[in-house]
């Protein structure tokens, strides 16, 4: 940097400007490259299954890329240490329990006792925490890095506000039976770039 100082002191801006442009440009390129490789990593891990060798890869991912992993929604939202039991899985169409017609089920239903804590499955920001009468009930929607969103429906209570930042594993509310629900459970959805994806892929419970 010494030569830059000298050029500034001598007031010869014509000579230094091309260097400054070059510096700014190359920094942009480096940060873009980092972002792409993180997204590529995410794409690789989304497609992993629950076979022992794939679960090992997830473990390595967690250890080697802790910064990316914080934004990867792969914990069970009702108990980060245990694989969940499901009452209803992800499907493009299923018989809706209340309305009796075929509707898409865009998430999984995780059954647990009333007021079981519900955890954020990745670091993110609360984009909705409100009551939707007749459908989602008390619900929370989080936005995460790398195009992920997660949704938590039928809560008895949510304890986070819209705009608030949450951490992976932080309690955001308590399980309930509110809205269009027929029993105590958490309806849990994951979206990537606006498209629903099967949360089973992230809970590693197999098909």
Q: Which residues bind Zn ion (CB under 5 A)?
A: 109, 187
149 or 187: whose CB is closer to Zn ion? Answer: 187
Nearest distance in Å: CB 109, Zn ion: 4
Measured between alpha carbons, how far is 148 from 38 in angstroms, rounded to an integer?
13
For every residue of 15-38, DSSP letters joined together read: HHHHHHHHHHHHHHHHHHHHHHHH
65 or 196: whose CB is closer to Zn ion? Answer: 196
Measured between alpha carbons, how far is 129 from 126 in angstroms, rounded to an integer?
7
Nearest distance in Å: CB 186, Zn ion: 8
Q: Which residue is nearest to Zn ion (CB)?
A: 187
Nearest distance in Å: CB 129, Zn ion: 18
Beta bridge partners of 186: 110
Nearest distance in Å: CB 187, Zn ion: 3
Measured between alpha carbons, how far is 41 from 159 in angstroms, rounded to an integer?
32
Residue with tokens 């891990």: 45
109 or 141: whose CB is closer to Zn ion? Answer: 109
| Contacts with 34 (C-beta within 8 Å, 6 or more apart), sequence order | none
65 or 132: whose CB is closer to Zn ion? Answer: 132
């Amino acid at each position: 940097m010494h030569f830059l100082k000298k050029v500034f002191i001598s007031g010869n801006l014509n000579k230094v400007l091309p260097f400054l442009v070059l510096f700014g440009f190359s920094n942009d390129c480096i940060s873009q490259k980092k972002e792409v490789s993180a997204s590529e990593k995410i794409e690789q891990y989304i497609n992993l299954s629950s076979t022992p060798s794939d679960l090992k890869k997830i473990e390595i991912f967690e250890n080697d890329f802790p910064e990316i992993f914080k934004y990867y929604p792969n914990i069970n939202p009702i108990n980060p240490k245990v694989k969940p039991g499901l009452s209803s899985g992800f499907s493009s169409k299923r018989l809706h329990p209340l309305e009796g017609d075929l509707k898409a089920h865009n998430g999984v239903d995780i059954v647990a006792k009333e007021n079981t804590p519900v955890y954020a499955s990745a670091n993110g920001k609360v984009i909705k925490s409100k009551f939707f009468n007749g459908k989602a009930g008390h619900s929370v929607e989080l936005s995460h890095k790398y195009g992920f969103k997660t949704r938590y429906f039928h809560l008895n209570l949510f304890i986070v506000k819209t705009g608030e930042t949450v951490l992976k594993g932080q309690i955001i509310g308590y399980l309930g039976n509110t809205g269009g629900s027929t029993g105590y459970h958490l309806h849990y959805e994951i979206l990537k770039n606006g498209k629903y994806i099967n949360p089973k892929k992230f809970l590693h419970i197999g098909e």
